[in-house]
Structure 1
Amino acid sequence: MRILLANHEVLLQGLTMTLALTLCVLVIATVFAALLAAGLMARHPVLRRLAQVISEVMRDIPLFVTVMMVYFVAPSFGIGLDPFGATLVGLGAWGAANGSTIIRAGILAVPAGQREASAALGLRPWQVLRLVILPQALRPILPPYLGLTTQLVQATSVGALIGVRELLRTGQIVMERATVMEGGLSPFLLYGVILLIYFAICSALSALSRRLERRLGRHENHTMAATPQAETSQPGALARLRIARS
């Protein structure tokens, strides 16, 4: 324990790198997941097929192989990436492929009648998406997407294989220092602490997912309770739109 306390700054730097890498990956993955999901639902067959191929290939290739391919193959095409950048691209591509299926499933979970009724009310396609589809799709999307986020947190450890000084890599550095300077350190103690840190992060994300899901459920129930009886025969989102337009 004394050795861990003496190297707490190194472990803290690794934790900071893990959180920064996770945040960057999450932003990139979310943006491209939305684009891929739009491609998967596109009417144009070529665009839809291209999105399907990209999504399927990225989900089927092991994450370790993807990161290694980016790190070692990209320079052959004149794209030099450092370990952080290669891990960011590899994890982002993997997260986008998996996130696109979650977003697509959440949007398709909204009944088709919602779109038809919205069009009948004179809403434009982007208004239908923003006011009707996305608010209802958020509830089925949110829990699995936060689950994907916990997977991305765990997957950042792959970066240790190519030199990213994230949490796992800094743990290895502490182990090497302790072996040279102190005569050794219990691997069980060191990696047990690292395991607890990962567990705390992922548990916090899981708790956030449950809290947001309950909040969305209460908001939906409150909205439905506030809707006049004459409007409750319509689905919730369309009822609110009719009230707003009246």
Structure 2
Amino acid sequence: MAVAGYQILLDGLVRTLLLSVSCIIISLCIGVLIGIMQTSKQSVIRSVAKGYSELFRGLPIVITLFLVFFILPEAGIEVNSYISAMIGLSLWSSANISVAVRGAIQSISPTQVEASMALGLSGLQTMRYVILPQAFRRMLPSVIGLLSNLIQTTSLSILIGNLDLLKSAQILIERVEIMEGGAIAFQVYSLVLIVYFIICYPLSLLSRKMEKKLA
């Protein structure tokens, strides 16, 4: 491949990484909040949070992407394919993260909450200073695994026209085959596979290592 071909792939990789980082930040913020809400003593808050989690975990990711991409413009909210992908993937990943957060919080002994209250801490202070620091360590392995899956799942954004690494590979293949008449699909897709492996495999190893350490 010529230098221009590598530049096309590099642009796609940058967009994929930007999309991944954006989704990670958004989904962590929303997922932690929804996870905390699922442990609320107020049934309305708990039900709304669990409904959010079950809805976006139950829907296929592709359907969520299509819903965001096609319904928001109908509601008068104009979004491009990149923003649509970011919203759709963030909804899916935050729902999954919220389950990990809820499980981690519920794994903390209730006696610690009682002891914190006895020391004069409010419910918010107990959650912030006692529960969440411990829950964070327990949920970290599963969250890292989810983030690895999120990076891989960004490839589905090609279905709504987002120009990611996979889409860039397709463009490069079509351009070379039209202009030069050569078939380079195997080489290009092999390179894309290697890139995803380099990004995701270390995260998978880290997740397994932390799970063993916590066990």
Same fold (TM over 0.5): yes
Q: Is the 8 A contact 1:29 1:99 kept in 2?
A: yes
Bigger relative CO (Cα 8 Å, ≥ 6 apart):
2
Which of residues 30, 33, 36 is equivalent to 1:35?
A: 33
Give the drift of 1:34: 1.7
Whether 1:63 aligns to 2:38 is no
Deviation at 1:137, TM superposition (A): 1.0
Query: Structure 1 residue 125 and structure 2 residue 113: aligned?
Result: no
Q: Which moved more, 1:178-187 or 1:71-80?
A: 178-187
Give the Å deviation of 1:23: 0.6
Aligned length: 213
Report the Cα distance in structure 1 between the residues aligned to 2:2 and 2:22, rounded to whole angstroms. Answer: 28
Offset of residue 10 of structure 1: 0.9
- In the alignment, which of 17, 26, 47 is matched to residue 19 of structure 1? 17
Q: What are the residue-to-residue correspondences of 1:86-97 with 2, within 5 Å?
A: 86-97=84-95
Q: Does structure 1 residue 172 correspond to structure 2 residue 170?
A: yes
What residue is the counterpart of 1:114 in the other structure? 112
Q: Percent identity?
A: 38
- Bigger shift: residues 57-66 or 176-185: 176-185
Q: How far apart in 2 are the matches of 1:6 and 1:82? A: 26
C-alpha distance in structure 2 between counterparts of 1:14 and 1:4, whole Å: 16
Amino acid paired to 2:126: V
Larger Rg: 1
Query: What is the alpha-carbon distance in structure 2 between the residues aligned to residue 203 and residue 77 of structure 1?
Result: 40
Determine helix, strand or coil for the equivalent of 1:7.
Answer: helix
Aligned twin of 2:50: 52
Q: What is the rounded CA distance, in whole Å, between the counterparts of 1:14 and 1:105 in structure 2?
A: 36
Q: Deviations over 1:15-36 (max 9, x none)?
A: 1111100010111111111221
**Worse-superposed segment, 118-127 or 64-73:** 118-127
Change beyond 3 A, Cα 1:44–1:191: same
| Equivalent residue letter for 1:74 | L
Mark the CA change 1:6 to 1:37 in structure 2 (over 3 Å): closer, same or farther: same
Give me the CA root mean square deviation: 1.7
Q: Return the offset for 1:206.
A: 2.6
Q: In the alignment, does 2:84 pair up with 1:82?
A: no
